[in-house]
Structure 1
């Protein structure tokens, strides 16, 4: 018995190595396997190619049995085929048929099978012309199946994974096993169970060897933790083509409310990188030329489409980045003094909102068009720290207290060091971290959080502008994405489209800003002159308030105060809501 067990173990080991054991009994050699076993292996290996034939055989056998047992069932079979076909057309996307052509093909197959089976049950499967219809129709309907890219991709994946034991030994992960695999638009992914003692770090270190063993291009293999967080499991992602090889045009706003998650761009599996900004502060980092400004444009393009969010912005590069969005920005600060005033007013808003909530017995501010959220976008936060250091306590206060009252910070900077972030609690309060390419490995932890580099968040390896990693409460694995690209024309067209539909601050917030003291030395005649020039040059339908704000560089309350003063003296007239022009050509 001991010898027999050893022989069986030896035979199993040979099969794992791809060899066929030969068994010798009493001097006679037996064939390695029975013919039925060999046939079964062939059928299993080519099960995808033979699926149409197997379906045809199943239809004939099923129809023959039902013809003998229940010949009166044919109307129900016809109805079932029609119902299944209709369901596939209507809701086939939920079962993985993303394209309309795929749903129509599946519906045609379902209806054809149901109709043929109903006829075969009623008349008999061998009644003319049913056999000819089965053969001819089967061949016609098999062609799309045989040529479909996803089926061929799945077959290729199955054959690659069949050799996984040899691959695992070759790359230094012996004993690991593939538990499941799926093919998608860009390639395939597999869940791999590691052998005892192997870790995610071991698998990550074998990525170059995996690329060689699988025959992929460089950078095609990703190894990430599984969603369940098990230490002995990893997800293997293999790309056949790089979905991020070229820039991806922005399809337009993905949200209609600040309460919805914003789509920044597609992951490598073509799913959207969506993240919510309601009651979450955000940090966007990356070196110059990494696509950070493109990410800000995607954020702005979605924020201006939200009727329940007011946008304030700080751009100390004289508005070079955010000026194109000025028609939709309620306040744009381009100088250190304007930035100080804006942040001071933001603190006044959050304090007024907190008092109003306390008086009403409520704990959170629910955004609506009448009570919008306030989002403050700051480009190059380090410039603010250097040029307006006395404003840092206000940003720190907003970061710590702004969530409940829907006052949110979104700050962008190249290297968010403690010095660059103002030595306060701002960086630690950032719930959403988006990292474009960084120059040094240690910058990964600065942007994404301590320990992220060792956990596989390799932002220093991102190889094209716009590619990013996102770390947020709903994104806790390092998956590469690429931000949409907004051209200058797209930005201008989007800003013009939404300029007349932007919300105003609620009365609580507006009163808090208007009651805040304004230094008189900053109320210069230059702003009044620019305002009057804009009003006198306005067309018949008037000039919008956002344009007046952008031209003067003043706040919305300042502009409205001047408009009321001019209207009281009859010098300006309101053409429509938010549209003003001069009533005559006299200088004020």
Structure 2
């Protein structure tokens, strides 16, 4: 067994061979005694030096002065040289040098056999030698004569660093590290982590370093000898962590590599000193990002004080079992565009409500009926009884597609303002590079859930430099270990940022449990509050008020597929028609089309009327954000150009029928609210 200092332990079984000869026994004893010989050699050397010095300088006053000064200088040099060692070793070394040099001075001047000089030598010499032997025995059993942790640090270029007493936990060792002043910094430890992992024969991600923020030469070295993430955990085996709880309870996504729960918080908590956060989820194809998203989504949808909007251009491929739980779910790009506009309108409405009810930030009490006079919107201090305001999560899945269509500015205002409105924005995409998402938006999202990435450059887009320096390396997994991730978010201790975790695995057997969760939420979860509903409808109109909702209580059979036995199979107007009779001949002009495809161009007044009708048709269809390109077919039918349409859209904007949505796009103002 080989011990690495105060708890940094690597075990090796040394083969025990039978000693079959006296020669092997003698060699073994010599090898074990060799580390203890230097103190005895030093004692013998001092005795010989004393005898030779007496032969040379006996009775010499000048030699006495020189030897005394030399003894003092040597003792002082020993004390100075020991400043980087422990205080016990420094004192022991100085006492040994002082005693040896004092005896040597006396022996050179008076003679080694004069008076009590020989007795002092025969008693004091072995005592000093044995004191060093005892110290070496207590310090380590390593025959090399130095602790293994010092040998480890020396091999990785940190020879002068010191390791303190380690804290040993199940599958986790934490040791304080003190670097040499003026020559070593925390950056040197970060560079040495691969070497430490190699010396300990553990994966690179099993060794982390947490610098002390108040010092450039102090920190903690963390080693996790056994990867507890290797065993895949099925989600349905454990299920949600806090079913029926609050969104303020931790969202458990999986476990860390030392077995601790992988937890995330979205709302803030002033008592805990935690800020609210958004979340950016990223990972390459096959890294387990989809299962990670399901872990988070099922945790959210089992809490009673939250509502969720979802945009998924993949037509809810992964999330379809959860559809009944969403307040609003869209897949088309036009619907995503209007959802973004709705979120922009909802934010000020919610912040106004929170301010009127004296909430500096959203908390669980805000989701309930306001019966506390401290949170009343009445000026007289009486309880107002207003309906509560649930926490609001807006999730953009495969957001690279949405950003490509909407532009970087689409999420900027949401990311910067939504946290104060009791809202969390979750953006999921494969690679959050500069060409996918703006740096401003990425920084405003705050939280990071980083799965495996193809290279270190991609890791730099997701994780802060301090986390990468501490040992985080998601490129080491790529997509070879699905579910492995790093989580960086408020409420998580900073020393945990570089600890890898793993989300749970969703199998085909988990679908029924997901459907049960969705049905429970549809019946028992929070309903959209009047403030959010009105603000969304003001912007989105029928796109929100007539949004697709899944009725969990509806029969599996559609009404169109059911036939009443007593209902006639032929309409009353068609009862007198003989299906065998020939149709009457067509009259002159009866074969002309009802609408002339070409050759007719409406006058300006009629064209404006047709354009207004087209806008109304877009509104009726739920497409609330439009632009000239959406009128391509209309222009072809009526012989007008897109520039003409652009001018008419600007006129509609001045009249209040449209609102500017940016990027040459216009948002339809619903007529019922415009009136």
Per the normalisation by structure 1, the TM-score is 0.61
- Matches of 2:554 and 2:334 in 1, distance apart? 23
In the alignment, what sits opposite 1:467? 484
- Are the aligned partners of 2:205 and 2:473 in contact in 1 as well (CA < 8 Å)? no
- Matches of 2:397 and 2:540 in 1, distance apart? 26
Structure 1 residues 176, 335: CA separation in 2 closer, same or farther (over 3 Å shift)? same
In the alignment, what sits opposite 2:330? 333
* Alignment match of 1:203 (pick from 174, 180, 189): 189
- Are the aligned partners of 2:280 and 2:442 in contact in 1 as well (CA < 8 Å)? yes
- Are the aligned partners of 1:375 and 1:408 in contact in 2 as well (CA < 8 Å)? yes
- Matches of 2:208 and 2:431 in 1, distance apart? 27
* Alignment match of 1:6 (pick from 74, 91, 95): 74
* Alignment match of 1:179 (pick from 161, 164, 183): 164
SS, match of residue 419 in structure 2: coil
SS, match of residue 166 in structure 2: strand
Deviation at 1:518, TM superposition (A): 3.3
State the Cα RMSD in Å.
4.2
- Are the aligned partners of 1:172 and 1:206 in contact in 2 as well (CA < 8 Å)? yes
In the alignment, what sits opposite 1:482? 501
Deviation at 1:450, TM superposition (A): 6.4
Structure 1 residues 211, 32: CA separation in 2 closer, same or farther (over 3 Å shift)? farther
Superposed CA deviations along residues 197-252 of structure 1, whole A, max 9, x for unmatched, are 21222112222332344x43343652322354521123212232112222234433
SS, match of residue 346 in structure 2: helix
In the alignment, what sits opposite 1:306? 303
In the alignment, what sits opposite 2:389? 371
Structure 1 residues 229, 7: CA separation in 2 closer, same or farther (over 3 Å shift)? closer
- Are the aligned partners of 1:417 and 1:446 in contact in 2 as well (CA < 8 Å)? yes
* Alignment match of 1:508 (pick from 531, 534, 547): 531
Larger radius of gyration: 2
- Are the aligned partners of 2:186 and 2:211 in contact in 1 as well (CA < 8 Å)? no
Task: Write the mapping of 1:115-154 to structure 2, written as runs, cut at 5 A.
Answer: none
SS, match of residue 206 in structure 1: helix
- Matches of 2:355 and 2:250 in 1, distance apart? 28
In the alignment, what sits opposite 2:642? none
- Are the aligned partners of 1:253 and 1:301 in contact in 2 as well (CA < 8 Å)? yes
- Matches of 1:8 and 1:248 in 2, distance apart? 62
SS, match of residue 183 in structure 1: strand
- Matches of 2:319 and 2:423 in 1, distance apart? 19
Structure 1 residues 424, 337: CA separation in 2 closer, same or farther (over 3 Å shift)? farther
- Are the aligned partners of 1:353 and 1:405 in contact in 2 as well (CA < 8 Å)? yes
SS, match of residue 319 in structure 1: coil
- Matches of 1:168 and 1:440 in 2, distance apart? 29
- Matches of 1:260 and 1:160 in 2, distance apart? 53
- Matches of 1:244 and 1:329 in 2, distance apart? 32
Deviation at 1:431, TM superposition (A): 1.4
In the alignment, what sits opposite 2:422? 406
- Matches of 1:32 and 1:379 in 2, distance apart? 75
Q: Does residue 415 of structure 1 match 2:431?
A: yes
Structure 1 residues 286, 41: CA separation in 2 closer, same or farther (over 3 Å shift)? same
Q: Indicate the larger mover: 437-446 or 357-366.
A: 357-366
Structure 1 residues 223, 3: CA separation in 2 closer, same or farther (over 3 Å shift)? farther
Deviation at 1:326, TM superposition (A): 1.6
Give unmatched runs, 5+ long, in structure 2: 1-67, 105-111, 113-117, 268-275, 369-387, 560-621, 623-675
Superposed CA deviations along residues 356-380 of structure 1, whole A, max 9, x for unmatched, are 3455565434342542111011211
Q: Indicate the larger mover: 247-256 or 409-418.
A: 247-256
- Are the aligned partners of 1:313 and 1:322 in contact in 2 as well (CA < 8 Å)? no
- Matches of 1:517 and 1:293 in 2, distance apart? 29
* Alignment match of 2:411 (pick from 395, 408, 424): 395
Structure 1 residues 45, 471: CA separation in 2 closer, same or farther (over 3 Å shift)? same
- Matches of 2:131 and 2:222 in 1, distance apart? 36
In the alignment, what sits opposite 1:261? 250
Deviation at 1:40, TM superposition (A): 8.4
* Alignment match of 1:270 (pick from 253, 259, 276): 259
In the alignment, what sits opposite 2:641? none
Give unmatched runs, 5+ long, in structure 1: 47-155, 540-557, 559-588
Superposed CA deviations along residues 403-446 of structure 1, whole A, max 9, x for unmatched, are 1111211111111123322x484222111112112112222222
Structure 1 residues 536, 311: CA separation in 2 closer, same or farther (over 3 Å shift)? same
